[in-house]
Structure 1
Amino acid sequence: MPTTRLYQAVLRDPGPTLAKRLRRAFSTWLMGRGFPEVPISPHFTASVKGTRARLDAARGCGRFTVEDGRLRTRVTYAQTMDRMTGWVVVTVEQYAGDPAEEFAPGFLPDYLATERVTDGGVHLTGRAEEHDEDGIVYLLGDLSERRRRVPVVVVAVEGRGTGSGRVHAEYLADRVAGAAQVVWLADLRAQDRFNDTVGDDLAVYGGGIRTYLAGFRPGEEEADRHRVMGGKMVRAEGTPALDRAAGYIIGETAGLKLPDELREPYRVVGRIVQGDAEPEALAEAARPQPVRSAYIDPEQYRKMMDMAKAVTVPPAPKPRPPLSVLPAPRAPEPEPAPAPAAANGKPAAPELDLDLLARTVAERVAERLSHLGDTVAKAVTEGMHGELESMLDLVTSDPQELARHMRTMTSHVASLTRELSEAREGRERADSGRAEAESESARLEDEIERLVAQQRWLETDLAEATARERRLAVRVRRLESELAKAAGPVEIADETPESPASLVDALHFAESLTHVVIGETMHEAGLLDLAHPTLRRVWAGKAWDALCALDEYAKARSCGEFQGGFRDWCLAETGGRRVISANLLAMKESDSVTGRDKFSAVRTFAVPAEVDPSGRVFMPAHIKLRKAGTPAPRIHFLDDAGGATGRIWVGYVGDHLPNTRTN
Structure 2
Amino acid sequence: MDTRRYRMVVTSGLDYVGTGALVDDRLRSWLKEPPKTYDIEAFAEGRNEIARGVTLDHDSATGTSGAYGRWRLRETTPDGTWQTTVLIRQTGAGPTWVQLDVEHLPDRPDVFPTPAKTPRLAGSLLDVLRARDGLADVTRMPQVIEVDDVHSVIDELCDEKRRLPVVVASTPHGVDFDAWLERTVDPLVRPLAGLAILYVLAPEAEPYFNRALEYHQVFAGGIRTYLPGVDPAWAADGQRHRVLSRRTITETPHRARGLLAQLPQRLAIQAPLPPELDSVPVLRARTKEGVGTSELERLRDENHALFEILEEAGREQRARADEIRGLKRELHETQQGESMLVGEYDEQYRELHGVKAQLLAVQKRLLILNAAEAAYTPVEPGPPGPASFAEILDRIADMPRVHFTGSRKVTLELDDQAYGSSWGRMTWDALLALQDYADAAADGEATRDFKQWCEDVPEGKHSISPRKIIRDESKSVKTKADWRKERTFPVPEHIDPARKLFMGAHVRIGGGNTIAPRLHYYDGACATHGIFIGYIGPHLTNTLT
Q: Report the TM-score, using the length of structure 1 for normalisation.
A: 0.43
Instruction: Give the Å deviation of 1:230.
Output: 1.1
1:193 aligns with 208
Listed one character per residue, the Cα deviations across residues 126-161 of structure 1 (whole Å, up to 9, x for unaligned) are 221011111111211111111000011111022223
Q: Distance in 2 between matches of 1:25 and 1:100?
A: 25
Give the counterpart of 1:65 among 68, 73, 76. Answer: 73
* Shift in alpha-carbon separation, 1:57–1:217, aligned structure 2, 3 A: same
Instruction: Give the Å deviation of 1:463.
Output: 9.9
Say if 2:32 is the partner of 1:24: no
Listed one character per residue, the Cα deviations across residues 271-313 of structure 1 (whole Å, up to 9, x for unaligned) are 3x4469xxxxxxxxxxxxxxxxxxxxxxxxxxxxxxxxxxxxx
Say if 2:279 is the partner of 1:264: yes
Q: Distance in 2 between matches of 1:239 and 1:426?
A: 48
2:251 aligns with 236
Instruction: Give the Å deviation of 1:84.
Output: 5.0
Q: Distance in 2 between matches of 1:428 and 1:214?
A: 40
1:585 aligns with none
Q: Distance in 2 between matches of 1:190 and 1:250?
A: 28
Say if 2:192 is the partner of 1:184: no
Say if 2:325 is the partner of 1:442: yes
1:54 aligns with 56
Say if 2:77 is the partner of 1:45: no
The answer to which structure has the higher strand fraction is 2
What is the letter of the counterpart of residue 170 of structure 1?
D
What is the letter of the counterpart of residue 54 of structure 1?
L
* Shift in alpha-carbon separation, 1:423–1:95, aligned structure 2, 3 A: closer
Q: Distance in 2 between matches of 1:148 and 1:241?
A: 25
User: Secondary structure of 2:40's match?
Assistant: coil
User: Secondary structure of 1:10's match?
Assistant: strand
Instruction: Give the Å deviation of 1:464.
Output: 11
User: Secondary structure of 2:100's match?
Assistant: strand
1:92 aligns with 102
Q: Distance in 2 between matches of 1:418 and 1:54?
A: 28
What is the letter of the counterpart of residue 181 of structure 2?
R
2:181 aligns with 166
Q: Distance in 2 between matches of 1:275 and 1:3?
A: 33
For 1:298-337, what aligned pairs fall within 5 Å after superposition? Answer: none
Give the counterpart of 1:211 among 225, 234, 238. Answer: 225
What is the letter of the counterpart of residue 277 of structure 2?
L
Q: Distance in 2 between matches of 1:135 and 1:457?
A: 30
8 Å contact from structure 1 (residues 113, 126) kept in 2: yes
What is the letter of the counterpart of residue 18 of structure 1?
T
Which structure has more relative contact order (CA 8 Å, sep 6+)? It is: 2
* Shift in alpha-carbon separation, 1:197–1:103, aligned structure 2, 3 A: farther
8 Å contact from structure 1 (residues 4, 94) kept in 2: no
Q: Distance in 2 between matches of 1:253 and 1:421?
A: 41
Q: Which has the larger radius of gyration?
A: 1
What is the letter of the counterpart of residue 58 of structure 2?
D
Q: Distance in 2 between matches of 1:53 and 1:428?
A: 22
* Shift in alpha-carbon separation, 1:64–1:142, aligned structure 2, 3 A: same
Q: Distance in 2 between matches of 1:433 and 1:98?
A: 24
Listed one character per residue, the Cα deviations across residues 424-461 of structure 1 (whole Å, up to 9, x for unaligned) are 86677556545544443433333333444455567789
1:360 aligns with none
* Shift in alpha-carbon separation, 1:144–1:32, aligned structure 2, 3 A: same
Q: Note the aligned Cα RMSD (angstroms).
A: 3.9
* Shift in alpha-carbon separation, 1:427–1:252, aligned structure 2, 3 A: closer
Gaps of 5+ in 1: 277-414, 468-663
Matched-pair identity in %: 21
Say if 2:235 is the partner of 1:225: no
* Shift in alpha-carbon separation, 1:161–1:453, aligned structure 2, 3 A: closer
8 Å contact from structure 2 (residues 28, 40) kept in 1: no
For 1:539-550, what aligned pairs fall within 5 Å after superposition? Answer: none
8 Å contact from structure 1 (residues 11, 118) kept in 2: yes
8 Å contact from structure 1 (residues 131, 183) kept in 2: yes
Aligned length: 321
Q: Report the TM-score, using the length of structure 2 for normalisation.
A: 0.51
Q: Distance in 1 between matches of 2:123 and 2:4?
A: 20
What is the letter of the counterpart of residue 213 of structure 2?
V
8 Å contact from structure 1 (residues 120, 148) kept in 2: yes
Q: Distance in 1 between matches of 2:147 and 2:118?
A: 30
1:6 aligns with 5
Q: Distance in 1 between matches of 2:105 and 2:346?
A: 34
